[in-house]
Structure 1
Amino acid sequence: MIENQSKIRVMDEKLASQVAAGEVVESPASIVKELIENSIDAGSSNIDIIVERGGKALVKVIDDGDGMTRDDAVLSIERHATSKLSNKYDLNNISTYGFRGEALPSIASVSDFKLTSTHKENDIGTEIILKGGKLIGVNECGTKRGTQVEVRSLFHNIPARKKFLKSDSVEFSKIEKIVLTAAISTPNIAYSFHHGKRLVIKIGKSNCLENRIHELFGSEFSEQLLNLEQSNDKEIRISGFVSRPGIKFNQRKQQYLFVNG
């Protein structure tokens, strides 16, 4: 008699994290997006982004937000750990970018990962180091308020994913689009963006969207735009800037759309 052996197996935690990472981490640009959104949710006034080789060698995001306590920093690298939800009813009142608790553990599972954070009410910070999702150490450190996440050697432990990354220039262009999008949607935050030693973007805080557009794209571009705003009695409001009649821009990459932004 031959016993039927189950073909279905429960994945170990490391493999499950690497598989889940495919939903969150598609490229260096997706890492930059997740980390910037975390920084915005943390109430940051300044966000610095540093990448090397289109983000394949390094992605580093530094902010001056609220920071995390040691306990929260350790929990942040656990799957489905989030500060945004406490029960199912909170799903109806989400006002933050992130809430699933998947970004950091997913990123850490496919890279050499270091998180450093100091809570706004603490003098001592926490440093957490992982390699390919494996926890290497949790240490105290002296850093200023805020959080710094450093991601190196993306997909070094998943060669099949690594080979699908594009050239450095293509990956850089995708990251630049992410940074520009974030900067437009949050004019109250100052940004800097370095690719290697080259400073790509550096802008201070702006008091309105119009000034932010002027700072990012220049006066020649911003002077060709019209400010439009429309609302109705159903609490729907549409606002933004469009090109003046007769003015055409050749590339769609200069179109930015935000919903509930």
Structure 2
Amino acid sequence: TSQVCVSVASCVKELIENSLDAHSTRLQLTFIAHGADLIELTDNGDGIAEHDFEKIGLRYHTSKLSQFEDLENVNTYGFRGEALSSICIYADVTILTRHASASIGTKLIFDGEGQVISRTPFPREIGTTVSIRSLFNRFPVRRTELQSHSKREFSQALNIIQSFAIISRQIQFFQVSSSADNHPPSHPLLTLTPSSSLKDTLAQIFGQKILESIIHIDDNNDDDENKEFKFDGYISRPQHGCGRSSADRQYLYVNNRPIDCAPFLRTINDIYRHFNPNQYPLVALSIEVLDRSTLDINCTPDKRTVFVEHLSNMCDQIRLILNKLFESSSNVYVSSNKRQQETIETNNDIPTPPTKQLKIERFVKKT
């Protein structure tokens, strides 16, 4: 359990998931010292009911499942009851919350075992604020490592934030503020407002210029009744200059859940690099698995790894879609070496420029 939240990014992921599961529409994230001193999320969700106060910090306690069979049809991001317990081990945790059934909010302070050690009335609106202070303070070696690489840790956390902002249509306002030192941030780093489409959200996150270099992935016109998957999203155009030098902006979602799937991403990158060999695409792709019995999301504690029974079929389907999309977009096609050789042989009458010959000499040290 203690290995669920082992970085700034994993803590941020768990906080955002809890907020979205509580039907929040407004989220505000604050970081001090890139998250080493403070990670704080404030939302306007349902709040925490009083009868759950003593349980929320304990291992394997969750209010999102009521019976074992609920695991077969999980509709929430969280359900394992491990995150807050793990965070309490590594940091000082304080929660300010008010449920709709309460007339006033409550301030809860937890110890390293997830037990409530202080409970006091605290005025606030309906919603919850979770504050994580001094991450890894009880583990000096990890604390030193975090402080040494705090900028990299925050960059990974920002990537997680962006992945949720892209897919979560329920979010009406999302603000992120951060400071590199131990002073409170002076201005927001990222502010997102309601958008009507995925394309608009991508423009808010990555800038309006991104719209010129992406193309829509859409297979809704496919009337195959036996189709197992539906795809919807955006990918960089295959022309040179539209992609990126690294695969740092690639977001996959299965049934609206952010996931990691190396074989599927490898398929996408291989296809793209057939058309644009020197770059990687920006990808924001939502995949709907139509038969949920072929999908397992309860594979790892962070719930980022999923098992898809017919993964090879999913890869084949996106391969066909992207090849067709890129061929029509770039007016080029990828030919085999054999076809290229045939083309050269049938065009022998076309003069070719002389090949520049390079003379290579071996230099021997004179004695």
TM tier, smaller: 0.7 to 0.9
Aligned equivalents of 2:54, 2:227: Cα separation in 1 = 43
| Corresponding residue of 1:73 | 53
> What stretches of structure 2 of length at least 5 have no aligned partner?
180-184, 257-367
Aligned equivalents of 2:64, 2:170: Cα separation in 1 = 22
| Corresponding residue of 2:153 | 171
SS in structure 2 of the partner of residue 169 of structure 1: helix
SS in structure 1 of the partner of residue 53 of structure 2: helix
Is residue 156 from structure 1 mapped to residue 137 from structure 2 by the alignment? yes
Per-residue CA shift, 1:106-135, capped at 9, x if unaligned? Answer: 101211110111112322122110243354
Aligned equivalents of 2:67, 2:227: Cα separation in 1 = 28
Which letter does structure 2 place at the counterpart of 1:208? S
| Corresponding residue of 2:230 | 237
Is residue 83 from structure 1 mapped to residue 88 from structure 2 by the alignment? no
2:83 aligned to which of 90, 100, 103? 103
Kept in 2: contact 1:73–1:117 (CA 8 A): no
Which letter does structure 2 place at the counterpart of 1:62? T
**1:74: Cα distance to partner?**
2.5
Aligned equivalents of 2:100, 2:201: Cα separation in 1 = 28
CA root-mean-square deviation: 1.6
| Corresponding residue of 1:129 | 109
**1:162: Cα distance to partner?**
2.4
For these two proteins, the number of residue pairs brought into alignment is 241
Which letter does structure 2 place at the counterpart of 1:168? S
Aligned equivalents of 2:144, 2:67: Cα separation in 1 = 40
Q: TM-score, normalised by structure 1?
A: 0.87
Alignment of 1:1-261 (within 5 A): 20-21=1-2, 23-133=3-113, 135-165=116-146, 166-189=148-171, 190-196=173-179, 197=185, 198-230=187-219, 232=224, 233-246=226-239, 247-261=242-256
Q: Flag the structure with more relative contact order, 1 or 2, with Cα contacts below 8 A and sequence separation at least 6.
A: 1
SS in structure 2 of the partner of residue 183 of structure 1: helix
SS in structure 2 of the partner of residue 221 of structure 1: helix
Kept in 2: contact 1:34–1:103 (CA 8 A): yes
**1:41: Cα distance to partner?**
0.6
**1:253: Cα distance to partner?**
1.1
Kept in 2: contact 1:69–1:126 (CA 8 A): no
Identity %: 34
SS in structure 2 of the partner of residue 34 of structure 1: helix
SS in structure 2 of the partner of residue 253 of structure 1: coil
Of the two, which has the highest radius of gyration? Answer: 2
Kept in 1: contact 2:5–2:86 (CA 8 A): yes
* CA spacing shift, 1:61–1:154, aligned 2, 3 Å: same
Kept in 2: contact 1:74–1:128 (CA 8 A): no
**1:235: Cα distance to partner?**
4.3
Kept in 2: contact 1:224–1:243 (CA 8 A): yes
**1:102: Cα distance to partner?**
0.8
Q: TM-score, normalised by structure 2?
A: 0.63
Per-residue CA shift, 1:128-183, capped at 9, x if unaligned? Answer: 10243354211222111111000001111122432332422112211111111111
**1:245: Cα distance to partner?**
2.5
| Corresponding residue of 2:291 | none
> What stretches of structure 1 of length at least 5 have no aligned partner?
1-19
